[in-house]
Structure 1
Amino acid sequence: MNNFYLLHNHGHGAMSQSATGINLQMLLGISFILLFLAYTAAVLMTNKQYKKWPVYRLICWSLAMGTAFIAVVGPLANSAHTNFTAHMVSHLLLSMVAPVFMAIAAPMSLLLRTVNTSLARQMTALLKSRVAQLISHPITAAVLNVGGLWLLYTTDLYAFMHEHALFALFVHLHFFIAGYVFTISIIYFDPVYHQYTFWFRAVVLIVAIACHDILSKYMYANPPTGVSQQEAETGSMVMYYAGDWIEVGLIIIFCWQWFKSAKPRKHTAGEVNG
């Protein structure tokens, strides 16, 4: 059986092989490529039937998928195998930068205008369901996102991730999905069927940012299992300072939407936020 390297290894050797014999790092990379192609194809198809899809949204989707790809495939991902600072950069790209660009790209709006009417109605009903409301609730999304980081870095799960390929895959998928769900629970570009006030979302955002920053300071003094003190200090500073810049970008978008919503409306009632 051919050897292959996974998302993470412990030391300099390869991690255990999976039953499928597939390189899990490349599996994630291919997934992001397919998402990029699917979005692009949907834009080209629907542009023939409806109003032209905004170019800036296609650009944002391209940036999102490109950023996510860089985080899981290539030199950065390879360095993240054994370097905590590189791992932290990968985390920021995958769970913070890519989700912001994804949110602006409004993929759900594009999907709803791509599928047939019957399927669109079923998807809309699902988005209106209580389960979707629970998952997309700002507090739930914040707990899944930031809470997941606390669980990973303050327990033995970080070391466990380096020893078990499927769990490493799960962690990366969680970074990506939880980051996206939290982002769309704060800033609205797609249709939102369970909206929350700006004040409420602002409070959740501030608390989530505080918890993220506190975690970075905690790791500075208490390295995750298997991470040296020096690497923990460098990685924690990357998480704190680079994370702050990304959070500032999210705050700017949020405040822009809040300011726009407070202005007297001059457009049609059916206009979607963003």
Structure 2
Amino acid sequence: MHDRGHGAGSSLEWLLPALGMLAVAGAYLLLVRRVRRRNPIQGWSRWRTGWFLCGNFLLGGALLPPVAPFAYEDFRGHMAQHMLIGMYAPLALVLAAPITLLLRTLPAARGRQLTTVLHSPPARVIAHPAVALALSTGSLALLYFTPLYNATMDSPVAHWLLHAHFLLSGCLFAYVIAGPDPAPSRPTVRARLVYLGVAIAAHAVISQMMYGGFWVDIHTPIPQVQAGAEIMYYGGDIAELLLAAALVATWRPEPPRRAATREPSREVTTPAGVPASEPTGSG
């Protein structure tokens, strides 16, 4: 158990994230309204709007009481918070297609600039599934098998940075695997399923090692660590199954490539190697 005498229960600490999420939700709804005004026929999917509000709700549930104070005091609360911020909320936010919404509301010049950024070499590296997997799942080993977790619990700034990492890396992985937004050089469905399978296996191994106490560096009672490992094991499985379902739901078959219709030219070559025209067959 960690001492949070710096004022974890103060209303200001919960007010700021609540206001931030309300502002983000308001901005999304404002863009949706603008899209519907510009194109009343096509409009914007209510499902996507619902997913965004759902993601905001899950994020608020993680960052506000009663979950947030519990996470400061108990490792089980931390793990529940981690699941919400790093896996469930990102999937809902990504399914809301915020990049597509932004592209449909920006002026043409700004939209081309954003598209250029999305297809730039740095974006291609960051959006590679291996990078997203390392940032979202690989960082868990660094967090729980080194003194990093204890350091974040002793520093409010580090604790909020950890939240930001969970959210951004979770959104990146969900976007790469099943996001409806355009992505640079998105791999095939089969390749994405392989990366998702690796993430499932890594979550299972890390949670089992935590439950067994192997190489774990978490300064909290053992029953809490084991219960947190169970939350990670089962909660992670459910979240990743939902991600797999989203991948199937958002998958669209690529249009078949048009086969070349031009037949190979039938040329008659003279002994000297110079192409000659075919006989016409007359006479």
Partner SS state of residue 72, structure 2: coil
Query: 1:72-122 CA deviation, whole Å, 9 max, x = no partner?
Result: 111101110111111111110111111111111100000111111111111
In structure 1, what is the equivalent of residue 20 of structure 2?
Answer: 31
**1:95-114 pair list within 5 angstroms:** 95-114=86-105
RMSD between superposed Cα atoms in Å: 2.2
Q: CA deviation at 1:31?
A: 2.3
* 248-257 vs 88-97, greater mean Cα deviation: 248-257
- Percent same amino acid among aligned pairs? 31
* 123-132 vs 189-198, greater mean Cα deviation: 189-198
Alpha-carbon separation, structure 2, partners of 1:263 and 1:245 = 32
Query: 1:135-165 CA deviation, whole Å, 9 max, x = no partner?
Result: 1100000000011211111111111011111
Alpha-carbon separation, structure 1, partners of 2:15 and 2:153 = 17
Q: What TM-score do the two structures reach when normalised by structure 2?
A: 0.83
Q: 2:5 aligns with which of 13, 36, 57?
A: 13
Indicate yes or no: 2:218 matched with 1:229. no
Alpha-carbon separation, structure 2, partners of 1:83 and 1:224 = 15
Alpha-carbon separation, structure 2, partners of 1:167 and 1:25 = 17
Partner SS state of residue 151, structure 2: helix
User: Quick check: 2:123–2:184 contact (8 Å CA) kept in 1?
Assistant: no
Query: 1:6-61 CA deviation, whole Å, 9 max, x = no partner?
Result: xxx93252269xxxxx9555433332221111101110122100221010110000
In structure 2, what is the equivalent of residue 44 of structure 1?
Answer: 33
User: Quick check: 2:68–2:81 contact (8 Å CA) kept in 1?
Assistant: yes
In structure 1, what is the equivalent of residue 143 of structure 2?
Answer: 152
User: Quick check: 1:32–1:65 contact (8 Å CA) kept in 2?
Assistant: yes
In structure 2, what is the equivalent of residue 248 of structure 1?
Answer: 241
In structure 2, what is the equivalent of residue 130 of structure 1?
Answer: 121
Alpha-carbon separation, structure 1, partners of 2:175 and 2:147 = 30
Alpha-carbon separation, structure 2, partners of 1:136 and 1:32 = 25
Q: 2:200 aligns with which of 209, 213, 222?
A: 209
In structure 2, what is the equivalent of residue 93 of structure 1?
Answer: 84
Partner SS state of residue 103, structure 2: helix
User: Quick check: 2:127–2:183 contact (8 Å CA) kept in 1?
Assistant: no
Letter in 2 for 1:229: I
Alpha-carbon separation, structure 1, partners of 2:47 and 2:113 = 28
Letter in 1 for 2:236: G
Alpha-carbon separation, structure 2, partners of 1:78 and 1:54 = 36
Alpha-carbon separation, structure 1, partners of 2:16 and 2:146 = 27
Q: CA deviation at 1:255?
A: 3.0
Partner SS state of residue 261, structure 1: coil
Alpha-carbon separation, structure 1, partners of 2:46 and 2:201 = 35
May I ask how many residue pairs the two structures share in their alignment? Answer: 252
Alpha-carbon separation, structure 1, partners of 2:234 and 2:255 = 33
Q: CA deviation at 1:262?
A: 7.4
Change (3 A) 1:256 1:148: same
Letter in 2 for 1:127: L
Letter in 2 for 1:118: A
